[in-house]
């Protein structure tokens, strides 16, 4: 298996903010580029493509059922993605590194926060699903994190979202959670919350 990822990139001058984008199941490296450009129009953007195919749908790690992760592959994917992000940061020397993931992309990003929180300065987790209790991580202290979620999401049950938010809070992260009344879809009010979060980072 390749040691890196195929990825889309919007390059700017060295030293600019670096924004990583992680797509959801069935997406690809291009899905979130437009959103990334709206959120941070002057950022260097890097969006990797998931390297696992589930019936033709790209993902970042394997699962055995809805909400049932292949934990060995989850660990593999986390280690590989951490190395990818570290290499991108070393190459571009950004002023700040921010990451945003949706659904499966939010899950791989959450795993990075559990294990290598020093890699990014802030993170946006859109509709994450973490069906296990993460280990303690002191490196999350004061880390800026936004979770967005749907009150009627059939894929990411609200109690698990609340548990994840409580976990980040217990680790000392500067956690915010933004809810909409829909399901797993991305809604305008969710995008507004993300824009506000990102704008505060750049203030």
Active site residues: 103, 153, 184
User: What's 36-60 look like in SS3?
Assistant: HHHHCCCCEEEEECCCEEECCEEEC
- Burial zone of 175 (CB within 10 Å; 0-12 exposed, 13-18 middle, 19+ buried): buried
Q: Of 47, 149, 158, which Cα lies nearest the Cα of 108?
A: 47
Strands 18-22 vs 97-102: parallel, antiparallel or unpaired: parallel
Task: Compute the distance between CA of residue 88 and CA of residue 95 in angstroms, rounded to an integer.
Answer: 13
Judge whether 64 and 70 are in contact, CB under 8 Å: yes
């Amino acid at each position: 298996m390749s040691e890196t990822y195929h990825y889309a990139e919007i390059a700017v001058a060295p030293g600019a903010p670096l924004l990583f984008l992680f797509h959801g199941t069935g997406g690809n490296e291009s899905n979130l580029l437009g959103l990334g450009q709206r959120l941070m129009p002057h950022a260097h953007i890097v969006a990797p493509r998931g390297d696992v195919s589930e019936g033709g749908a790209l993902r970042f790690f394997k699962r055995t059922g809805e909400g049932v992760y292949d934990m060995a592959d989850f660990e593999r994917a986390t280690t590989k993605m951490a190395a990818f992000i570290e290499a991108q940061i070393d190459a571009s020397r950004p002023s700040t590194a921010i990451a945003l993931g949706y659904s499966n992309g939010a899950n791989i990003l959450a795993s990075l926060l559990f294990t290598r929180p020093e890699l990014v300065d802030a993170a946006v987790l859109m509709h994450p699903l973490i069906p296990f209790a993460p280990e303690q991580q002191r490196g999350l202290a004061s880390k800026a994190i936004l979770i967005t979620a749907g009150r009627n999401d059939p894929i990411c049950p609200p109690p698990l979202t609340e548990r994840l938010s409580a976990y980040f809070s217990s680790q000392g992260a500067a956690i915010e959670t933004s809810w909409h009344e829909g399901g797993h879809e991305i809604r305008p009010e969710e995008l507004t919350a993300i824009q506000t979060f990102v704008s505060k980072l750049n203030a």
